[in-house]
Structure 1
Amino acid sequence: MQPLLQEGQSLLVFTEYRATQDYLRKTIEDSMPGVVCRTINGSLGLEEKTDAVQAFNTGQARVMISTEAGGEGLNLQESCHVMVNYDLPWNPSRLVQRIGRLYRYGQTRRVQVLNLQSDDGFDSAALNLMLDRVTTIAHEMAAVAADSRDALASTLHSQHESTLHLRNNAGLNRENGTAGP
C-alpha cells in the first residue's frame, strides 16, 4: 500500500464489518502519518457520506474504507483505480457493485481489484464459486458487444489469478470477520 500512496495514488478498501473498518483506519493512520483516511458506513448521514466522497475524490483523503453502505450509487472513480476487498461479501452481485464504484464512465485508468482471503479450504472454495458467478454475470452484462465481453472476462480472469497468487503468498489472519494480527 505504501508504494501506491507514495506515487500519489488513492486506495479504496471494502470490508463487511465496522469493527474491521475502525481497525484498518487506525492501523493505516498510525503506520503512515499524514495519510488521511475517510470512512463510509451505515451510521453516517447523507451529508457525512457526501463529505467523505468529496474529500476522497479531491485527494484530501487518500484512502477510503467503506462497508456495504458505500457499495452502491457512489462515484469514486475520479481519483482512484485500485480497490482492495479486505473481506468478501457472500453475494457476488455485491462484489460487482463494489467494483462498480471505480469501473464507471469517466474512469481513465485500468481498474485493479485485490481480494484478500484466508488460506483455508472453505475460503478458497467460496471465493472460487463467487468468482465463477461474477464471471457469468460479466458475460451476461456485456453480451451486447463481444469485444467488451472478452475484455471484461480477460480482466476478471487475470484478477482471479492474482487473487490466487496473493492468497498463496500472504499470511492473512482473519477469523469470524474480525481484524487483527
Structure 2
Amino acid sequence: MAHFGQGAVGFINGDDRQPGVRLPSGKEVVLTGSRKASAEAFNQGQRRFLVSTEAGGEGIDLQARCHTLIHVDLPWNPMRLHQRVGRLNRYGQTRPVEVVTVRNPHTGEARIWGKLEQRLGHIMEGLSHAMDESEDLMQMALGMTGPAFFNGVFAEGQTVGADRLDAWFDAKTGNLGGGLPSLLSWT
C-alpha cells in the first residue's frame, strides 16, 4: 500500500477481517470485507493485489485479471496447491499462468517438496504419452492418494536425516498415484 496506494490490496481469509493493517499514513486499521466482495473488487480492477489464506483456495474465479500466483506457505497436500492454481488456470485465462513458490531450501519440508515434485513429474511424464490433458492427469495422480498419505509423509519426513531422505522417500512413496509409475514402466 505504501508503494501502490491505500486501495491497492485486497484480502481473503476465514474471518472477513484483517487487523493490524498499516496505511501509507502510518495509521493502523482493521480492514473488513467478504471473500466474494474482495474477489469482485480484484476482478474489476479496483485492487491490484489479492492476499489470501487457504480460504481463497476454492470457490472463486480469478482468471479474468490474474495470471501470477505466489505461494508463501505450502500445505502438505499437493491437491490443495493444485486447487489454488485452479483459481487462475481455468477457462477464460488468456495468459500463461506463473506460479512462484517461496520456501527455505534448508528445511525438511523443502527437501520433501522437491522430491515430491520430482516424483509427480515422473508420473506426469509417463502418463502424458497416453493422454493429452496434463492438468487432468495431475488431478488424477493426486486424487488417487488421500490427504492422510501426504500428512504422514511430511510429518514423518521431518524426523528423517538428510543422508537417509532419498531412500526413505522412495520407500514411502512407491505407490504414489496408485502405483502409476510402476504400471507405466512396462509399457
* TM-score, scaled relative to structure 1: 0.57
Name the residue aligned to 2:12: 40
Question: What per-residue deviation string (whole Å, max 9, x for no partner) do you get for residues 73-112 of structure 1?
Answer: 1101110000100121111110001100000111111000
Percent identity, aligned pairs only, is 39
Offset of residue 48 of structure 1: 1.4
Bigger Rg over Cα: 2
One-letter code aligned to 1:101: R
Quick one: distance in 2 between partners of 1:139 and 1:102? 23
- Aligned partners of 2:7 and 2:46 also within 8 Å: no
Q: Classify the secondary structure of the residue corresponding to 2:82.
A: helix
One-letter code aligned to 1:52: S
- For structure 1, the residue ranges without an aligned partner over 5 or more in a row are 1-28, 154-181
One-letter code aligned to 2:14: G
Q: Classify the secondary structure of the residue corresponding to 1:84.
A: strand
Q: Does 1:147 align with 2:119?
A: no
Quick one: distance in 2 between partners of 1:106 and 1:135? 26
Name the residue aligned to 2:53: 67
Name the residue aligned to 1:173: none
Offset of residue 138 of structure 1: 6.0
One-letter code aligned to 2:50: M
Query: Considering only aligned residues, what root-mean-square deviation do their CA atoms show, in Å?
Result: 3.2
Q: Classify the secondary structure of the residue corresponding to 1:117.
A: coil
Q: 1:108 to 1:65 in 2, by over 3 A?
A: same
Q: Does 1:80 align with 2:52?
A: no
Question: What per-residue deviation string (whole Å, max 9, x for no partner) do you get for residues 107-138 of structure 1?
Answer: 11100000000120413312214424654786
Quick one: distance in 1 between partners of 2:71 and 2:123? 19
Looking at secondary structure, tell me which structure has more helix per residue. 1
- Aligned partners of 1:92 and 1:131 also within 8 Å: no
Q: 1:136 to 1:48 in 2, by over 3 A?
A: farther
Aligned with residue 82 of structure 2, among 96, 121, 137: 96
One-letter code aligned to 1:58: Q
Q: 1:73 to 1:130 in 2, by over 3 A?
A: farther
Q: 1:97 to 1:148 in 2, by over 3 A?
A: same
- For structure 2, the residue ranges without an aligned partner over 5 or more in a row are 18-32, 139-187
Number of positions where the alignment pairs a residue of Structure 1 with one of Structure 2: 122
Quick one: distance in 2 between partners of 1:145 and 1:50? 39
